């Protein structure tokens, strides 16, 4: 499971208004969807956070490949009504059953990993460092 957060999204809403923020969220969700495989799922948790369930990811190496490609794809400028804008994302990853055995714990551990990615400088990803509790 991966939890994605658009870095500095509040600045876009504050500068251009919520209607532009909503336009960006729509475009972001389309880009994420286009990068995923048919077996994967995407959901918006609210605000600027998305969750992606990589159902058939075999190992951390394959997850890393998917997430790295996603970050590259997300960094291509977006053409909004107010002009072009760049977006960076921070992604946290948790793996079932290695890190948790239920959805709530998986989300919480992906959240911890996402904030670790933010600490590393944003526009990157991190896998939860720990084990199931």
| For residue 133, pLDDT beyond 60 | no
Q: Is residue 80 over pLDDT 70?
A: yes
Averaged pLDDT score across all residues of the chain: 93
User: Is residue 40 annotated as part of the catalytic site, yes or no?
Assistant: no
Q: In this predicted model, what pLDDT tens digit does every residue of 14-49 receive, in sequence order? A: 999 999 999 999 999 999 999 998 999 999 998 999
Q: For the chain, what percent of residues have pLDDT higher than 90?
A: 88
3-state DSSP call for residue 7? coil
pLDDT tens column, 88-104: 999 999 999 999 999 99
Domain ranges for the chain = 2-127
Pick the catalytic residue from 7, 8, 14, 48. 48
Pairing of strands 89-93, 2-6: antiparallel
Burial of 90 (0-12, 13-18, 19+ CB in 10 A): buried
pLDDT higher than threshold 90 for residue 77: yes
Q: What is the mean pLDDT of residues 53-70?
A: 91
Tell me if the domain spanning 2-127 has CATH number 3.30.70.270: yes
Residue 77 DSSP code: P
pLDDT band at 132 (very low <50, low <70, confident <90, very high): low
pTM to 2 decimals? 0.91
């Amino acid at each position: 499971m991966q939890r994605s957060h658009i870095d500095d999204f509040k600045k876009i809403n504050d500068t251009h208004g919520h209607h532009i923020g909503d336009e960006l969220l729509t475009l972001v969700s389309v880009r994420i969807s286009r990068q995923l495989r048919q077996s994967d799922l995407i959901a918006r948790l609210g605000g600027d956070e998305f969750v992606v369930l990589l159902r058939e990811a075999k190992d951390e190496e394959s997850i890393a490949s998917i997430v790295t490609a996603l970050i590259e794809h997300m960094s291509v400028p977006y053409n909004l009504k107010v002009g072009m804008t760049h977006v960076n994302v921070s992604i946290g990853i948790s793996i079932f059953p290695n890190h948790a055995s239920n959805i709530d714990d998986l989300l919480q551990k992906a959240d911890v990993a996402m904030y670790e990615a933010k600490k590393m400088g944003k526009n990157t990803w991190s896998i939860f460092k720990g084990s199931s509790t």
